[in-house]
Amino acid sequence: MLEHKLSQTFSSLQHPNFRLWFGGQIVSLIGTWMQATAQGYLVYELTASPMMLGIVGFANGIPVWLFSLFAGTVADHISRRKMLLITQGSMMVLAFILAVLTFSGTVRAWHIILLALLLGTANAFDAPGRQSFVVDLVPKQELTNAIALNSSVFNLGTIIGPAAAGLVYAWLGPGWCFTINGLSFIAVLLALALMKIAAKPPLRPAQGSLAHTLTEGVRYSFKDANIRVLLVMLTASAVFGFGLLALMPAWATGVLGGDVRTNGLLLSARGLGSLSAALMIAYLGARIIRGRLWSIGSLVMPVSLLLFALFRLLPVSLLMLVLMGWSLMTVVNLTNALIQTHVPDELRGRVMSVYILLFQGGFPIGSLVAGWLAGLTSEALAVFVFASVLLAVSIAIQLRQPSIRQYN
């Protein structure tokens, strides 16, 4: 029985290309989250400013607004593997540059902001290609499982990476966190190089101008009422949920009285919840009504954040972040899976670029506003206000579009 359940949960791993991608991503994403955690704490050490944490998050995410729709068009018309080789290689170089600046003792906040802007630019092209790439690795009937497992790798990184960063930062310094991240990209680059992907027939060529090509994906994304609702909640989750993670270094030290290791624990708790959601979705697969589970996640997220704001004790904070991570990933994963289930392949990159634009583009706006509000008032009030807005959006969606609970 247990063996059967495991085979269902990890069914996509029977495909060799997906196994390579899965393994490479495990190593690379641990490094990515080590850098993200260390970078945030380094900025707070350099500036002691919650607002500066928001500015770095904003710099990292603003290229998504500038480039992601165009990047989605690119992902529809060139080899997604080649696109990922370029973007992942670029991010490796940027990690090593930050490591050199840190080891030399010359790193300043403006260096980190500039590198965050460049990293965000690479990620604006990487994310639509990465999201669309999964469909090249598994049959369509395995897509929900593959997306969930792909997300579970991301979330495994969010557990191990921040915890490891807290220890490495405390013992060896932030430069080693950035170096480890740079080295970790070798695994995913090697995986991409080793894949054997059959050539696909040419997709329907885009009709009309570049502007028409871009807007075609946007129009498709919003013409269906249920998909519109999914994207509205995704955006709210990114701005008012995920955006709050930029405040964790300030919360760890200013509210909980901890240090870099406390910051790592908080981020790892969120990752643990996200991983549990990804594995649960991978196991349940097609045996659930996905809209029903999505609706539960959209309500649990703001409630957990409200409790996080009210009870300022480390054990309670960790538990609420586990719940927040579970609910956030439930909403994000099921939005991804439901959209990809219904989108035609010739529009996949462009529609997924809208998904990326709203999710990853919402995060920097949330980070900036959360940092500003925390600096103006307090971290706790910023979290409470954000959670209240998110709860209002979720309730409004449930009342105005009850059919979303049956969407599958």
Instruction: State which amino acid sits at residue 395.
Output: I
- State the CATH number of the domain containing residue 60: 1.20.1250.20
Q: What angle do the packed helices 16-47 and 109-133 form, to 10 degrees?
A: 160
pLDDT at 7: 60
Question: How far lies 20's CA from each of 138, 316, 321, in Å?
Answer: 12, 38, 31
Positive or negative torsion for Cα 11, 16, 19, 21: negative
pLDDT at 152: 79
What's the rounded Cα separation, in Å, for the pair 16 and 68? Answer: 29
pLDDT at 286: 61
Question: What DSSP string runs through 162-184?
Answer: HHHHHHHHHHT-HHHHHHHHHHH
pLDDT at 228: 86
Count structural domains, the chain: 1
Residues 276-299 as b or e (16 or more Cβ within 10 Å = b): bbbbbbbbbbeebebbebbbebbb
Residue 39's region, left for phi above 0, alpha for psi from -120 to 50, else beta, is alpha
pLDDT at 76: 67
Kindly state whether residue 150 falls inside one of the protein's structural domains: yes
What's the rounded Cα separation, in Å, for the pair 242 and 236? Answer: 9
Kindly state whether residue 5 falls inside one of the protein's structural domains: no
pLDDT at 312: 86
What's the rounded Cα separation, in Å, for the pair 307 and 324? Answer: 10
Q: Which residue has the tokens 């009850």?
A: 402
Beta strands in 205-257 (DSSP E): none
Are 330 and 277 contacting, i.e. CB atoms less than 8 angstroms apart? yes
pLDDT at 300: 96
Kindly state whether residue 31 falls inside one of the protein's structural domains: yes
Are 407 and 226 contacting, i.e. CB atoms less than 8 angstroms apart? yes
Are 117 and 63 contacting, i.e. CB atoms less than 8 angstroms apart? yes
CA-based Rg of the chain, rounded to a whole angstrom?
20
Kindly state whether residue 136 falls inside one of the protein's structural domains: yes
pLDDT at 280: 85
Are 58 and 40 contacting, i.e. CB atoms less than 8 angstroms apart? no
Segment holding 299, helix H or strand E: helix 290-310
pLDDT at 289: 75
Kindly state whether residue 203 falls inside one of the protein's structural domains: no
Are 380 and 255 contacting, i.e. CB atoms less than 8 angstroms apart? yes
Write the pLDDT tens digit of every residue in 351-394: 777 887 888 888 889 999 999 999 999 999 999 999 999 999 99
Q: Which residue has the tokens 């994207």?
A: 231
Q: What angle do the packed helices 379-400 and 290-310 form, to 10 degrees?
A: 150
Kindly state whether residue 1 falls inside one of the protein's structural domains: no
Kindly state whether residue 389 falls inside one of the protein's structural domains: yes
Other beta carbons within 10 Å of 139: 10
CA atoms within 13 A on the CB side of 358: 22
Segment holding 141, helix H or strand E: none
Kindly state whether residue 204 falls inside one of the protein's structural domains: no
First-residue to last-residue Cα distance in the chain? 27
Please give the residue range of the domain that contains residue 121: 13-195+212-406
pLDDT at 167: 93
Q: What is the pLDDT along the chain (408 residues), one digit of tens a residue?
A: 545 555 666 778 888 888 999 999 999 999 999 999 999 999 999 998 888 988 998 898 888 778 877 776 776 677 788 889 999 999 999 999 999 999 999 999 999 999 999 999 998 888 777 777 887 788 777 777 787 788 778 878 888 999 999 999 999 999 999 999 999 999 999 999 998 876 655 455 555 555 566 677 777 777 777 888 899 999 999 999 999 988 999 999 989 999 889 999 999 999 899 888 888 887 776 667 777 888 999 999 999 999 999 988 999 999 999 999 999 999 998 888 888 777 777 777 677 778 878 888 888 899 999 999 999 999 999 999 999 999 999 999 989 888 888 776
Write the pLDDT tens digit of every residue in 156-185: 888 899 999 999 999 999 999 999 999 999
